[in-house]
Structure 1
């Protein structure tokens, strides 16, 4: 049958999903960890002439399963390496090919073994580390990171009951408030999965257990049983100072400062772009540890503003004897990708025109020299980042409008999502009274507007 490959960040539940599939099918489950394997014999087995020879991991797992049709999970398939002893990923080609694996040959057995009834599931963190011929044999399913409200539900339904039972608190009246769970998620963890969340909740449970023991047995005498409530104050008392500070959005309109949206492996973030223009030799500076793609986006934004200066009602020689400096704060964090193109273009327009940009609008989109806004990825996480920072108007590329159908209503609620096709379409939303040669108004953009409330 079809061979599945779950690709996703650590802690999103790839292995658990494999176990659930086996349980749902009523089949035996075996797991093989492929992380660090660099010897082909680990897969195909050793020839019996060698001292200490044994079958490969596939045949050993079949013996362990005790059936001909188990669910076999090949964990961390992207972590296999190779050396002078052979390439194990090449040996996996036969195992994971449904046309060939009915005659899998293990060097130890020296006879063909039928693997065609086995359901293979593989997991990986990074798709690009899997060799292409191996990718071709599998159906790759991307598992995205959890959003904050999803983590909150996982904590309430699964993690907290499990940890209360593990710490002997399931028969005590322990209540962990929703606000306390949210505080742990946003201020004490920064991840796509829920492993660190489980660790922090386990730490809270240990401290609750200590407090209950102290409270219920003063001076060796058993005290009365009481309800134990954990709120935000208690979380800070138990886990000390928050490890991650929330990025605070500046609530004032500023010249040359525009809010963008960024995707990271642990979710979405807002991205401030600051532009300043000063006297000096004609130079264009980019700071904030930007990658090559982002630098090219900044160059494209500047070229667009310069070539369309007249149309935008700007002085065509605005760059003469001027230094233009674009900076993205949080310089210690590397940033890359093309989706900040529209944000940089609007920040440059604000700095050149001297008009303040609205702080109540966030945007994302790649741009071309002709002024078109191209589609981007990670829309779900970006919308959530805007919502977290109480920004309710979001400009997205027109081609991403179709992706809104797959985003949950809970994420889109109270957001005004405006698809734009060209850079000029964004101007009426970012600037309150910006006059251009070819007047662009919100009325013109109204046909593109999609309000989700």
Structure 2
């Protein structure tokens, strides 16, 4: 094994950049990584620490090109920059299975040996060692003598493993399952504690009989050392048993002293713990378990290593809020006032929360549903949970599930592990100090899945009202009642939540805010919050309403208000500088000051410019951070009827383009399009922002409209956006995300939106301000889309500047 071992718990995986140096290594050559004090054998997997810049560059180049490397031992470990003469000539071809950068900046690679190779000559002019090699195949085994020696080597290896202290049983199984003499010799050498030069000698021995003989000789020497060490260990254990006997006698003496009334410090501690257990109001099973552990702790010597672990466990049992506190009746009027004071808009969502609280008031012992707020970042999901806690007058605790990939983070670690702790659920309840707290499970859609188990499966018991009354944490080992905890979850995307977990929750969707809602939220909450955050008062700084509107309209285009708050913070920091310098007693920010502080507006009315020529349509898209507008551009060039698609389109959008083109061809006579155009032209469909992948079944209407606009030379109305999928029969099919898309259209300054008629059921979800500012056109067939979206034939077409 390598002499420098890697602590995988303190490392972070690093993605290797694709922008490395342009180095061309011939296909018949191998990238060489010199190593000190270790030899990698074929079939072995070992971590290697690399610190030289050339070695780091070599490993990263191999990862970028997905090619193997050559691991070769250098003759002297003191040489910092080894040359060809400083390296052995037999190396191991290896694949890099993992590249890791530790927090301290060191680099590690995990390599798997594949085959021996002989270095013929090194390549000149490369930034890292590279050489032409000759692969050395493994000789065939056809000799009874070699097989007999291999069996003897196998017995020696198994005996050596059995003499090792705490040897893993998997190692014995590994040697038992390895029958090939060459692989057996390499495996035994990999695990032997011998000099690197001796291992290199085994690596360079190609002849099987000679290789097995060398390894057997080394192993015989190690066996003799292990036998002697085992004898010494047995004598040491005998001495230790004698000391343990003395410790037991001292403990008995201490017990006699306590019975005589002399007492000691631990007796007082045990008395204190006994009283604490009695006051903790534990259930009978938990209390019996705590008393049993206390009796174990009382019998343990204070110097015993397990004593501290048992004491910590008892502290957890005592400090958990087992008893249910007196619950105050929920005041629905006060709850409505709190929700209205904390949140602007969201009327349907606040109404659902009031219904939830009313049911909890009338049926406190009932099994209430688990609410899950779903929406883009910054729309107020977490703050809604805080408002619910205030309305119920209960403690609020937040448990972040983003990035959780270990089941033990939910269920806790078993106490057999050093440093074991309860899971995040029990820790959150202890932090809240109440068994009926409001627990916010934040980012439930971002739980991972690792080799330690599936945390989303562990959450099934937590969120199931039928099971969480007897939730068993691995650390506690006794049931804990979670039925009185009010669980509220948040998520950005539902696709990443497993179906069984999604079934446990009631979904409440939060879409983005309109411009007027953002303006009102900024006026009521964000301005005051940023004034306090920057050490200002309303008498020292003020922002005019029109300036605030300009910030909302020209500098943010998001579903929530998080970025808007950042921009307001920039404005007030600029004002704070003037107040702190004493150049102004009060700063009033006007529209003229906004450009000075925030720069030129980032979002302008580009729709009219983009759609001023035929072949451009404005679509609507749904993203994990809210709705957005999407431009579909089509162009025609001389060709042979081909189709060109660009803009990082996914498979679904590519199929939408094909379906739209087929539909245009089938309706060419009705649309006044010469069919010969399709045979003499290539059509190029492009969706700008090509660096952003785009996919989803909602662009069919926009694709069809853009192609029809191009081929009929009629522009699409610049105030109109559309969404919907199409069929080859010309039907407009329903799509999802209507609320988010319509809000995005209103924020972009559009006046008309064309939606599938079968999406009328989503009309009630659209905010009232968006309904008032937009004209809705409901489509049954694509003919209606053409009639509503295209300018009349013969209208003047202006070229885009």
Q: Given the two structures, how large is their TM-score scaled by the length of structure 1?
A: 0.85
55, 69, 72: which is aligned to 2:436? 69
Residue number in structure 1 paired with 2:739: 380
After superposition, the Cα gap between the structure-2 partners of 1:265 and 1:40, relative to the gap in structure 1 and judged at 3 Å, is closer
After superposition, the Cα gap between the structure-2 partners of 1:269 and 1:424, relative to the gap in structure 1 and judged at 3 Å, is same
2: distance between equivalents of 1:82 and 1:334? 25
Greater Cα offset, 293-302 or 53-62:
53-62
User: Secondary structure at 1:336's aligned position in 2?
Assistant: coil
2: distance between equivalents of 1:131 and 1:95? 15
Q: What pairs with 1:74-153 in structure 2 (closer than 5 Å)?
A: 74-153=441-520
The 8 Å contact of residues 540 and 579 in structure 2, kept in 1 or not, is answered as no
Alpha-carbon distance, 1:12 to partner:
2.1
2: distance between equivalents of 1:360 and 1:191? 20
User: Secondary structure at 1:123's aligned position in 2?
Assistant: strand
Alpha-carbon distance, 1:403 to partner:
2.2
Alpha-carbon distance, 1:235 to partner:
1.8
After superposition, the Cα gap between the structure-2 partners of 1:108 and 1:385, relative to the gap in structure 1 and judged at 3 Å, is closer
After superposition, the Cα gap between the structure-2 partners of 1:208 and 1:258, relative to the gap in structure 1 and judged at 3 Å, is same
Alpha-carbon distance, 1:322 to partner:
1.9
After superposition, the Cα gap between the structure-2 partners of 1:108 and 1:235, relative to the gap in structure 1 and judged at 3 Å, is same
642, 645, 649: which is aligned to 1:290? 649
State yes or no: 1:166 paired with 2:538: no
Residue number in structure 2 paired with 1:301: 660
Greater Cα offset, 191-200 or 201-210:
191-200
The 8 Å contact of residues 147 and 381 in structure 1, kept in 2 or not, is answered as no
Q: What pairs with 1:23-422 in structure 2 (closer than 5 Å)?
A: 23-215=390-582, 225=585, 227-243=586-602, 247-250=606-609, 253-422=612-781
Alpha-carbon distance, 1:414 to partner:
4.4
The 8 Å contact of residues 372 and 488 in structure 2, kept in 1 or not, is answered as yes
Q: Render the CA deviation track for 1:255-299: whole Å, top value 9, x for unaligned.
A: 333333334444444433332323222211122222221111111
After superposition, the Cα gap between the structure-2 partners of 1:166 and 1:95, relative to the gap in structure 1 and judged at 3 Å, is same
2: distance between equivalents of 1:301 and 1:115? 54
The 8 Å contact of residues 147 and 267 in structure 1, kept in 2 or not, is answered as no
After superposition, the Cα gap between the structure-2 partners of 1:89 and 1:363, relative to the gap in structure 1 and judged at 3 Å, is closer
Alpha-carbon distance, 1:390 to partner:
4.6
The 8 Å contact of residues 396 and 419 in structure 1, kept in 2 or not, is answered as yes
Greater Cα offset, 239-248 or 95-104:
239-248
2: distance between equivalents of 1:339 and 1:207? 43
2: distance between equivalents of 1:416 and 1:270? 17
Alpha-carbon distance, 1:244 to partner:
5.1
User: Secondary structure at 2:527's aligned position in 1?
Assistant: helix
Gaps of 5+ in 1: 218-224, 436-453
User: Secondary structure at 1:411's aligned position in 2?
Assistant: helix
2: distance between equivalents of 1:356 and 1:190? 26
2: distance between equivalents of 1:414 and 1:140? 28
The 8 Å contact of residues 516 and 769 in structure 2, kept in 1 or not, is answered as no
The 8 Å contact of residues 255 and 354 in structure 1, kept in 2 or not, is answered as yes
User: Secondary structure at 1:324's aligned position in 2?
Assistant: strand
After superposition, the Cα gap between the structure-2 partners of 1:109 and 1:390, relative to the gap in structure 1 and judged at 3 Å, is closer
After superposition, the Cα gap between the structure-2 partners of 1:65 and 1:343, relative to the gap in structure 1 and judged at 3 Å, is closer
1: distance between equivalents of 2:737 and 2:695? 14
The 8 Å contact of residues 41 and 56 in structure 1, kept in 2 or not, is answered as yes
The 8 Å contact of residues 249 and 389 in structure 1, kept in 2 or not, is answered as no
Alpha-carbon distance, 1:19 to partner:
1.2
CA RMSD of aligned residues (A): 2.6
User: Secondary structure at 2:670's aligned position in 1?
Assistant: coil
Alpha-carbon distance, 1:368 to partner:
0.6
After superposition, the Cα gap between the structure-2 partners of 1:246 and 1:263, relative to the gap in structure 1 and judged at 3 Å, is farther
The 8 Å contact of residues 514 and 769 in structure 2, kept in 1 or not, is answered as no
Alpha-carbon distance, 1:50 to partner:
3.5
User: Secondary structure at 1:249's aligned position in 2?
Assistant: helix
The 8 Å contact of residues 190 and 266 in structure 1, kept in 2 or not, is answered as no
After superposition, the Cα gap between the structure-2 partners of 1:54 and 1:260, relative to the gap in structure 1 and judged at 3 Å, is closer
The 8 Å contact of residues 557 and 603 in structure 2, kept in 1 or not, is answered as yes
2: distance between equivalents of 1:36 and 1:360? 42
1: distance between equivalents of 2:553 and 2:414? 54
Alpha-carbon distance, 1:320 to partner:
1.7
User: Secondary structure at 1:183's aligned position in 2?
Assistant: helix
The 8 Å contact of residues 610 and 616 in structure 2, kept in 1 or not, is answered as no
User: Secondary structure at 1:285's aligned position in 2?
Assistant: strand
After superposition, the Cα gap between the structure-2 partners of 1:344 and 1:87, relative to the gap in structure 1 and judged at 3 Å, is closer
User: Secondary structure at 1:255's aligned position in 2?
Assistant: coil
Gaps of 5+ in 2: 1-367, 795-801
Q: Render the CA deviation track for 1:126-165: whole Å, top value 9, x for unaligned.
A: 2222222211212222222333322221111111112212
The 8 Å contact of residues 611 and 715 in structure 2, kept in 1 or not, is answered as no
The 8 Å contact of residues 187 and 246 in structure 1, kept in 2 or not, is answered as no
1: distance between equivalents of 2:776 and 2:395? 47
Instruction: Tell me the matched-pair count.
Output: 427
1: distance between equivalents of 2:792 and 2:741? 27
Alpha-carbon distance, 1:367 to partner:
0.8
After superposition, the Cα gap between the structure-2 partners of 1:333 and 1:3, relative to the gap in structure 1 and judged at 3 Å, is same
1: distance between equivalents of 2:565 and 2:730? 46
The 8 Å contact of residues 395 and 418 in structure 1, kept in 2 or not, is answered as yes
Residue number in structure 2 paired with 1:11: 378
State yes or no: 1:423 paired with 2:782: yes
The 8 Å contact of residues 39 and 86 in structure 1, kept in 2 or not, is answered as yes
Q: Render the CA deviation track for 1:399-436: whole Å, top value 9, x for unaligned.
A: 1233223323321224332212111122332345559x
The 8 Å contact of residues 393 and 418 in structure 1, kept in 2 or not, is answered as yes
2: distance between equivalents of 1:270 and 1:243? 15
2: distance between equivalents of 1:268 and 1:149? 16
